[in-house]
Structure 1
Amino acid sequence: MQNLKTLTAAIVCASLLPLSAAFAQTMNKADHKASKTRISADYKTDKAACKVQKGNAKDICQEEAKAAETKALADAKMGQEIGDAKKDAASEKTEADYKVAHEKCDALAGDAKASCVTAAKGKFGKH
């Protein structure tokens, strides 16, 4: 029985190890979906490992499996939201820099101004 608990704990821990490294970086939508699929598969495996146990030990095992799934899904959601926030922030910063560059062009006239505006649009992808 003790060996089974140790095995179950090892399975749960092993399934969570890749998550900590994976969520240190942000995820795109495809990574997020793949992560959720992997988390679901890990949960099913962990829960199946609980079937051999009896009584309260089985209940504890199932709760631990569910808790591991819940935590992993929360980390996946956080990784996705951080990625989205970083994209939004980068876009807003670029737009702010473009507005400053465009405003600097207003101090110029004629061909110099047109050239300046064209250069600013090119630099910030505003074609």
Structure 2
Amino acid sequence: MNKLNITINAIALAAGLVFSAGAMAQTMSKNDYKAGQNKISADYKAAKTACASSAGNAKDICMAQATGNEKTAKAELEASYKPSPKTRYEAREAKADADYGVAKERCDDAAGNAKDVCLKQAKAAQVSAKADAKAQMKTTDAKMTANEKSADAHKDAAADKSDAEYAVAKEKCDTQAGAAKDNCLMEAKARFSK
């Protein structure tokens, strides 16, 4: 069983390293995405095969880990391929669900009240992880909205300043007459893009 856990953890670590490198780049080609999908499938098949040598609840735990790792890896791949607050949230949610699935299987080794407590703890951990993921997504959305509003405010302020300076330049042109005034107005319009 320990050998099996080491194999599964090694696969999960390798997948995690692949996807964290993709997350750092923030862009992924379609070919890299397809290669990632193929690697996830191969890793899942290898983990599933490794689980075949186990029996009983140990096999159930192993399969829950393999399935959870696959779903988490797919969600992380999607978040790397199409980075957004929503895809990062979905990756965190997939991880919470995967952890819950494994924890729930581990609870089957207990009985009575100990099993009930174990299941409640597993559910509480899942709810907590999902709540944290949702809070992170909402915080990111709020920051993006605030940044957009800030950019709009700066743009509006720049436009107001430009209009005010243009009004001053036009007023200065009023002291001139004829062609000089026309040239002055043309220069003011050009300088302030009016």
**Normalised by the size of structure 1, how large is the TM-score?**
0.68
1:118 counterpart residue number: 186
Deviation string, structure 1 residues 39-82 (Cα, Å, up to 9, x no partner)? 00000000111012222111111110111011000001011111
Structure 2 residue runs without a partner (length 5+): 1-19, 25-82, 101-121
Of 42, 48, 72, the residue aligned with 2:88 is 42
- Number of aligned residues: 93
Counterparts of residues 40-119 of structure 1 (less than 5 Å)? 40-51=86-97, 52-53=99-100, 54-119=122-187
Specify which structure has the bigger relative contact order, considering alpha-carbon pairs within 8 angstroms and separated by 6 or more residues: 1
Aligned to 1:60, the other structure's residue is in SS state helix
Identity of aligned residues (%): 34
| Alignment partner, residue 5 of structure 1 | none
CA RMSD of aligned residues (A): 1.9
Deviation for aligned residue 1:85: 1.0
Pair member with larger Rg: 2
C-alpha distance in 2, partners of 1:95/1:80?
22
Matches within 5 A, 1:11-30: none
Runs of 4+ in 1 over 2 A off after TM superposition: none
1:21 paired residue number: none
Match of 1:6 in 2: none
- Deviation, structure 1 residue 103: 0.4
